[in-house]
Structure 1
Amino acid sequence: LDYSQFSAADPPSSSSDAEHIQVFYRLLTISMETTRCWADRLPGFSELQREDQNLLIDSAFLELFVLRLASRSMLSEDKLVFCNGLVLHRFQCLRGFGEWLDSIRDFSTHLQSLNLDASALACLAALVLLTEQVPGLKDSKRVDELQNKVICCLRDHLGCGPSSSSSKAAPPLSRILGVRAELRSQRTQGLQRIFYLKLEDLVPPPPLIDRFLDTLPY
């Protein structure tokens, strides 16, 4: 964990609004790079057509960003842990994330209450990426096949976990799959936040982030 930029001061120390927004964009950009590296290692993903790979990553990126952030963050200490290990206090994120931050925190509380282990989280992340409902896919049947394989892996994993009375029981598969609908809402809120910051015109969004606004549902 990288605490080099951590500060619990309220309001945050001398950083300007523009600097806070630049940090927001930088965190999203780093997460996109991380997502691409991870997706390339997902069994079967690299065998999809390149256009389909790009479509799936672009569609799922904000959902995966929230999923990973929610799984790592230390809510009781108001600490958010990002994919590069950077730890920031909630106060440091308010200017960039806006109201989206409260929604992410609520989602984090729910996700952490499920007590998913690393394997279940990995399967959930793969299912967020592998959805055949993305418009424009050239081979949705192949994506559906990969999705079904992951669901089978997750079902097997949940079925063979520790069953001792001292261990917390794994949640039912349906509850884990239901997280995907919550993440779709998170994605919309993230897009709205990027759109708002672009309208505010204090810091232009980097091209990698700006192009996501083309997928706004209105």
Structure 2
Amino acid sequence: MPHGLSVDTEGNLWLTDVAMHQVFKYSQGQRVLTLGEEFVPGSDSTHFCKPTDVAVSNDGSNIYVADGYCNSRIVKLDANGKFVKEYTMPEEEKQLVIPHSIILIESFGLVCVADRENGRIVCFNDGQMDEEGQVKAIIDHPLMKTVYAITYDAHKHRLYAVSGKDGKHRAVGFTFSAHPESFGDLIATWEPKDSFGEPHDLTLNVNGQSLFVGEIRPNRIDVFDVLN
């Protein structure tokens, strides 16, 4: 059951498979790295449990896995797939419930995750060793009852998110500021003219001018022009 799909700066394709409990790396169509044990779930340093998404640092030295549907953590690995650290919420705070989408904001030393069922975005400190893994910021909004996917525009310093719908609230897209002095401030909300069905993932094109949202029920891709 392939789920999370991303491409690193070297053009390698990364894929999570929630049924196999694994993460795969492909180079030129060939699988070159497999993480996790096939069909064996777990929560230790060598296993995942239905991992949802993966992100890779620009220099390729670190791999981050949102783990996921039955674990509530972010796993940090080195370039060879060796366990480095896991990020979780402090015991006294609300725990992650289905970390569903993950991004890196390397200029600020942040790893951010869509905490789906809690309807928020949680950003962990990944820059300073003495604070690594600590919660740096939490972004939430009254309309954001669930958060399925997030993506980051390093040029405009914006964070985009899509939320799901429930009985009282429709699915909506969000644009948040990612500037240091206004991090997490809401810039805009958006949706297609005929409204979202169930948005599940989103990404920007290379020049940051178009935003693509993948939906299920209906199965379609919505394309939005990014306004300055």
The answer to which structure has the higher strand fraction is: 2
**Is TM (by shorter chain) over 0.5?**
no
The answer to which structure has the higher helix fraction is: 1
**TM (normalized to structure 2)?**
0.21
- Compare relative contact order (CA 8 Å, sep 6+) and give the higher one, 1 or 2: 1
**TM (normalized to structure 1)?**
0.22
